[in-house]
């Protein structure tokens, strides 16, 4: 017989399909009862060399939360997400309250199907610019999650500054062996692992060194050389720059990616330029951003990118009673 526990398991399973930096899947879920979930960041899955503050880790958790919300609506439930980072408990990401869905859904029905079809498109593949109507749909998706997005094209005056900042970040990274060693833990891994990016999903360019044989694989988008010829990119922004903002950025990013998937659009990510404080500021200044840049995304029309593995629901879920108070609001 169908139970609410079955629905919760399916909701968590959908959450696990979210993208995460290097497919680290840095989340864990405690099922407090049949109405409450507590989502936490998983410390051993944080990229401590390149993401010491946990910004990308919390963005990943935000993407997980968006999938939870979409899947809950598909199950006839409303998932109210209360971001809950706390200085005394820095790994606490959010608390989720489930209730029966009593009003028309906040999500287009196609978004749930997009959870299964969304893929990260890696490698350099030529594509035409996104249609203006599609750009507007993606912009609206981000705005619904109280974040911002700036779309970029090669004709923009600051485009050269973007590529220059990316190249600077890549060049500086070559001289820091610790992040490169950390990358090797997660990139180009065996296909039988339940996390990380398998070598067959990295794209043909994975074996094409630019400066160092490992720098090419560092960015999901193959670095600056991919952006030099790319048609449409975007920067997701938030007004603030703390854990609550990072969670909001992750939810906005994933809503945008799901909408993109419904339009036959794939995305990939460039993270290194935003991991370096200097080049992050350069990028923000180049595009006159009044907010903090959280994610750089490259878009292309197409489908069929390789699937990256995911952990089982049982691996990310625990059962425990109780839930405390929250310290920040949506």
Residues 6+ away with beta carbon under 8 Å from 220? 120, 122, 268, 269, 270, 271
Q: What is the pLDDT of residue 330?
A: 42
**Band (227; pLDDT cuts 50, 70, 90):** low
Residue 128 exposed, middle or buried by CB count within 10 Å (0-12, 13-18, 19+): exposed
Is the model's pTM score more than 0.85? yes
pLDDT in tens, 140-158: 999 999 999 999 877 777 7
Is there a shared CATH topology between the 4-116 domain and the 119-301 domain?
yes
Sheet holding 92-100, edge to edge: 77-83, 92-100, 36-41, 27-31, 317-319
Q: Which of 230-234, 288-292, 318-322 has the lowest mean pLDDT?
A: 318-322
pLDDT in tens, 287-299: 888 899 999 998 9
As a whole number of angstroms, the distance between CA 40 and CA 58 comes to 9
Question: Domain 4-116, what fold?
Answer: NADH Oxidase (3.40.109)
DSSP line for 115-136: HHH--B--S----PPPPHHHHH
Range with the largest mean pLDDT of 50-54, 127-131, 175-179, 301-305: 50-54
Q: Give me the helix-helix angle, 4-16 and 55-74, nearest 10°.
A: 140
Element (H, E) at 298: strand 292-301
Contact 191, 181 (CB under 8 A): no
As a whole number of angstroms, the distance between CA 319 and CA 278 comes to 42
| Collapsed DSSP state (helix, strand, coil) of residue 252 | helix
Tell which CATH architecture fits domain 119-301: 3-Layer(aba) Sandwich (3.40)
Residues 6+ away with beta carbon under 8 Å from 118? 17, 19, 257, 258, 260, 261
Structural domain boundaries of the chain?
Answer: 4-116, 119-301
């Amino acid at each position: 017989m169908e139970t609410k526990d079955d629905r919760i398991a399916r909701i968590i399973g959908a959450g696990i399909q979210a993208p995460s930096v290097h497919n680290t899947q840095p989340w864990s879920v405690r099922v407090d009862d049949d109405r409450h979930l507590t989502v936490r960041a998983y410390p051993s899955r944080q990229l401590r060399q390149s993401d010491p503050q946990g910004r990308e880790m919390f963005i990943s958790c935000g993407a997980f939360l968006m999938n939870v919300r979409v899947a809950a609506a598909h199950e006839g439930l409303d998932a109210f997400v209360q971001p809950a980072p706390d200085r005394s408990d820095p790994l606490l990401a959010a608390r989720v309250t489930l209730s029966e869905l009593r009003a028309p859904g906040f999500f287009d029905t196609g978004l749930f199907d997009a959870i299964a079809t969304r893929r990260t498109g890696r490698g350099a593949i030529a594509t035409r610019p996104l249609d203006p109507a599609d750009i507007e749909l993606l912009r609206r998706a981000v705005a619904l999650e109280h974040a911002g997005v700036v779309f970029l094209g090669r004709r923009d005056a600051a485009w050269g500054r973007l590529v220059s900042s990316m190249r600077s970040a890549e060049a500086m990274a070559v001289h820091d062996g610790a992040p490169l060693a950390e990358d090797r833990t997660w990139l180009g891994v065996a296909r039988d692992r339940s996390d990380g990016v398998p070598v067959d999903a990295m794209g043909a360019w994975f074996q094409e060194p630019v400066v160092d044989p490992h720098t090419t694989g560092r960015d999901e988008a193959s670095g600056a050389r991919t952006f030099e010829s790319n048609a449409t990119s975007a920067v997701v922004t938030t007004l603030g720059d703390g854990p609550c903002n990072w969670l909001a950025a992750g939810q906005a990013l994933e809503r945008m990616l799901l909408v993109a998937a419904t339009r036959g659009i794939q995305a990939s990510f460039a993270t290194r330029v935003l991991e370096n404080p200097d080049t992050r500021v350069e990028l923000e200044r180049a595009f006159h951003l009044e907010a903090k840049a959280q994610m750089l995304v490259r878009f292309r029309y197409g489908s069929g990118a390789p699937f990256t593995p995911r952990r089982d629901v049982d691996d990310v879920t625990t059962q425990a009673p109780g839930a405390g108070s929250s310290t920040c609001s949506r």
